[in-house]
Amino acid sequence: MSTPVASPGPSDSVLVRAARRQEVSHTPVWFMRQAGRSLPEYRAIRADVPMLESCRTPDLVSEITLQPVRRHGVDAAIFFSDIVVPLQAVGVDLDIVAGTGPVVAHPVRTRADLERLPELTPDQVPDITESVTRLVAELGDTPLIGFAGAPFTLASYLVEGGPSKNHERTKALMHGDPELWHDLCARLAQISLAFLRVQADAGASVVQLFDSWAGHLSRADYLRHVEPHSRAVLEGIHATHPDVPRIHFGVGTGELLTSMAEAGADVIGVDYRVSLTDAVERTGGRYAVQGNLDPALLFAPWPALEHRVREIVEEGRQAPGHIFNLGHGVLPSTDPDVITRVVELVHEVSAR
């Protein structure tokens, strides 16, 4: 038998080091929605299985999470699940409709509706513990990113009853009944935090809080009605898992970057509308940054894409830590070979 070689383990991986603003050998890279419809092997395995059922089946979760790691050589796996999984686990009647997104049978709009939304306890998601435990064992030194939806984004799905362009019912509740709004967000913060803790307890090395729709809010509304609840999640996970860095991400959040970073992030997610240079400046150079290639650029001719990737790697050097990613998720019709090529390019041009 050969002598075992000491392995650094996922907590000392390039991605975790970048998140902690430590020295790295190259810029780590992963992609939001790296697991999913852009991969033929994903489409094959999901062919006859509804989305939420696949999220609750450990064999499928492990396989789907590992597919992009094998294919692209990314520096992290993201747990295959969805932000609405913990809502389903506490009993919310919902479905994920292909091409649409989460649809909730009975929207939450009154005090009585809120009273029917229980807290999440770990025994409601034993499958999540099992999936994460298995994945961490299989991934070896590659870190697993756990995630949850932030209270505002979850509230939007629950209050609207599905995806929404204008979030009008959500904002009407926020402003029309602030007390109910805060109680709803406090409950959702408990659910998000419990979901993150289950993943971190089972070995996730990093967590990302997705507040995808926060960019629809003014800074004043964000600070008053949303930030305290996202802070509760980010500070809560830090209190129990101080070694697990926190990424905080939203779309169209140029005006909110400082507030979202200060809510308790180690890494601020930057979408493609704001340059990494501006993001570093707005957050005072105190946070690692993640981003921010426009997902649509994966469809551009290679020289144009290559040029932009190189620029982003360069801009990222101004940050105390940089994790290369897209500015939002991989679009389903993306050519997966282009993604692999971007991973190779990021590794090559960032090698120190």
Q: What is the DSSP letter of 29?
A: B
Q: Sign of torsion, CA 155 157 160 163?
A: positive
Q: What is the closest distance, in whole angstroms, from the C-beta atom of residue 188 to ligand CP3 in the complex?
A: 14
**Any catalytic annotation for residue 197?**
no
Q: Which of 69, 61, 31 is nearest to 45 (CA)?
A: 61
- Phi-psi bin for 203: left (phi > 0), alpha (psi -120 to 50), beta? left
Which CB atom, from 99 or from 301, has the smaller least distance to ligand CP3?
Answer: 99
Contact call for residues 154 and 198 (beta carbons, < 8 A): no
Catalytic residue among 17, 71, 134, 157: 157
Contact call for residues 316 and 27 (beta carbons, < 8 A): yes
Residues with Cβ within 8 Å of 311's Cβ and at least 6 positions away in sequence, in order, are none
Cα–Cα distance between 174 and 110 in angstroms, integer?
Answer: 12
Angle between helices 178-201 and 227-240 (to 10 degrees): 20
Site of tokens 């009008």: 168
63-92: which residues touch ligand CP3 (CB under 6 A)? 78, 80, 82-83
**Any catalytic annotation for residue 157?**
yes
Which CB atom, from 101 or from 107, has the smaller least distance to ligand CP3?
Answer: 101
Q: Which of 37, 56, 231, 286 binds ligand CP3 (CB under 6 A)?
A: 37
**Residue 82 annotated as lining a ligand binding site:** yes
Which CB atom, from 122 or from 162, has the smaller least distance to ligand CP3?
Answer: 162
Under rule CB under 6 A, residue 102 binds ligand CP3? yes
**Residue 62 annotated as lining a ligand binding site:** no
Which CB atom, from 70 or from 317, has the smaller least distance to ligand CP3?
Answer: 70
Q: Which of 96, 128, 139, 267 binds ligand CP3 (CB under 6 A)?
A: 96
**Any catalytic annotation for residue 37?**
yes
Paired sense of beta strands 206-210 and 246-249, if any: parallel
**Residue 266 annotated as lining a ligand binding site:** no
Which CB atom, from 214 or from 348, has the smaller least distance to ligand CP3?
Answer: 214
Under rule CB under 6 A, residue 161 binds ligand CP3? no
Residues with Cβ within 8 Å of 275's Cβ and at least 6 positions away in sequence, in order, are 292, 315
Q: Which of 203, 236, 329, 336 binds ligand CP3 (CB under 6 A)?
A: 329
| x/- track of binding to ligand CP3 for residues 204-223 (CB under 6 A) | ------x-x-----------
Residue 179 is which amino acid?
Answer: E
Other C-beta atoms lying within 10 Å of the C-beta of residue 67: 21
Distance (Å) of CA 231 to CA 21, 150, 193, 222, 263: 21, 10, 10, 12, 5
Under rule CB under 6 A, residue 292 binds ligand CP3? no
Cα–Cα distance between 102 and 98 in angstroms, integer?
Answer: 9
**Region of 11-19, 26-34, 224-232, 290-298 interacting with ligand CP3 (CB under 6 A):** 26-34
**Residue 33 annotated as lining a ligand binding site:** yes
**Any catalytic annotation for residue 134?**
no
**Residue 327 annotated as lining a ligand binding site:** no
Helices (H) and strands (E) in the chain, counts: 16, 9
Name the token pair of 222: 């964000």
Under rule CB under 6 A, residue 36 binds ligand CP3? yes
Which CB atom, from 163 or from 320, has the smaller least distance to ligand CP3?
Answer: 163
Residue 63 is which amino acid?
Answer: E
Q: What is the closest distance, in whole angstroms, from the C-beta atom of residue 74 to ligand CP3 in the complex?
A: 10
Q: What is the closest distance, in whole angstroms, from the C-beta atom of residue 157 to ligand CP3 in the complex?
A: 7
Phi and psi dihedrals of 330, rounded to 5? Answer: -55, 130
Q: What is the closest distance, in whole angstroms, from the C-beta atom of residue 334 to ligand CP3 in the complex?
A: 12
Q: Which residues are catalytic?
A: 33, 37, 46, 82, 157
Binding-site residues for substrate, please? 33-37, 82, 157, 212, 328
Give me the residues that bind ligand CP3 (CB under 6 A), please. Answer: 32-37, 46, 51, 78, 80, 82-83, 96, 98-102, 147, 210, 212, 329
